[in-house]
A and B are shown apart, each in its own frame.
Chain A
Amino acid sequence: MDPAEAEFLAEKELVTVIPNFSLDRIYLIGGDLGPFNPGLPVEVPLWLAVNLKQRQKCRLIPPEWMDAEKLEEIRDQERKEDTFTPMPSPYYMELTKLLLNYASDSIPKADEIRTLVKDTWDTRIAKLRLSADSFVRQQEAHAKLDNLTLMEINTTGTFLTQALDHMYKLRTNLQPAESAQSQDF
């Protein structure tokens, strides 16, 4: 899966916006939204929030965890622990990127947040590389990956699974009984 598709899935997450227009409830196929009243916060999916923001029809309220202090705690925790710590949102990276790109004016300390999330991400990816390495070395057949987010899995996922498949092929070809079939080609 490419990052764009992970982002596509993240765009379904609900965020709070404060609209500056009024509109009745809308009945989307995926559920109802609204009603929209100027100045009253309302929850909408991210794709709509970003679009409204681009048309300057709303102000975005960042999610609770998107706060420099909280993110600092998360980053320190992530650095302290050897395993993956739970993230505040399964789409934390995508949300941060989208919100900071399109609504950095409504997020206090945007630059600080960007760095903090990036640091957390780097720590987690480093851990992921390390554990993938030991997974391959020990020739394990199963791994548990709790608390990893979709984006993180997909950055290393395709490469890792392909590598494992190739290694498996090479290994099974060493055992003559199973290799007979592939010799036919």
Chain B
Amino acid sequence: MAEGLEVRELDSDGSSEELVLTPAQLLRSLEQAWLNEKFAPELLESKSEIVECVMEQLDHMESNLKRAKHGDLKVSIHRMEIERIRYVLSSYLRCRLVKIEKFFPHILEKEKSRAEGEPSILSPEEFAFAKEYMANTETYLKNVALKHMPPNLQKVDLLRLVPKPNLDSFVFLRVQERQENILVEPETDEQREYVIDLEEGSQHLIRYKTIAPLVASGAVQLI
């Protein structure tokens, strides 16, 4: 058992080299990505490196545990940890799939207009899923209703049909890095816009649109 764990330690150092993260930091960033994804109204950039690294860690641990003897207290503790991590991981991925199913035409449109070299917000698997979902929806609509319609009504524009993510919705956030001069737009015409500073560690309720770039850069954490 001890030997097996030693191997894991070495490997985990090796695999996280490009990101320079310890496994503990890796888990923290997964958790942050999970919470941000949960609360953001739109689909955020895919954190596929984090997901892959965490999967690797889990696989290593699993294979180590297979070699350990059964009924050991240590093994059951490791198992519990694995279950907890797996919960966060699958909840994160599931949350992204729900958003893809909800906003698929807009996500695919964004993906099409994405400039060369700009990172995609979808992982390759998610992209395949979105495309398939789009194709299936179109076929379904066609088979069930559209083909029975008069010819001039047989087209359907999913981009206009499916609601866009509401970027104006309010979110709660905690500030990780101090930010200055955030412009707050007024709610009504009588009010005037004003500027606020976000102090590190403080918590706010604000429109998602105002702070969307800060969520992407990791300067604020949605809660």
Show the binding face of A for B, using Cβ within 8 Å.
1, 8-9, 11, 21, 23-24, 26-31, 33, 47-48, 51, 57, 135, 139-148, 150, 153, 157, 160-161, 164-165, 168, 171, 184-185
Inside 8 A of B23's CB, which chain A residues have their CB? Answer: 29-30
Report how far A24 CA is from B2 CA in the complex, Å: 10
The reply on B205 being an interface residue by CB < 8 A is yes
8 further interface pairs, Cβ-Cβ under 8 Å (given A30-B27, A150-B223): A26-B77, A29-B82, A30-B23, A139-B187, A153-B203, A165-B166, A168-B187, A185-B161
Inside 8 A of A144's CB, which chain B residues have their CB? Answer: 202-205
- Asked if A146 and B80 make an inter-chain contact with CB atoms under 8 angstroms apart, the answer reads no
- Asked if A165 and B168 make an inter-chain contact with CB atoms under 8 angstroms apart, the answer reads yes
Report how far A117 CA is from B185 CA in the complex, Å: 38
CB closest residue in chain B, given A28: B81
The reply on B78 being an interface residue by CB < 8 A is yes
Report how far A171 CA is from B77 CA in the complex, Å: 53
The reply on B85 being an interface residue by CB < 8 A is yes
Show the binding face of B for A, using Cβ within 8 Å.
2, 5, 8-9, 12, 23-24, 27, 31, 38-39, 57-58, 61, 73-74, 77-78, 80-82, 84-85, 87, 160-161, 166, 168-172, 184-188, 191, 196, 202-207, 223
Inside 8 A of A57's CB, which chain B residues have their CB? Answer: 73
Known: A48-B77, A150-B223. A29 touches B61 (CB 8 A): yes
Report how far A138 CA is from B154 CA in the complex, Å: 48
Q: Which of A8, A33, A141, A161 contacts B185 (CB 8 A)?
A: A141
Q: How far is the CB of A132 from chain B (nearest CB, A)?
A: 9
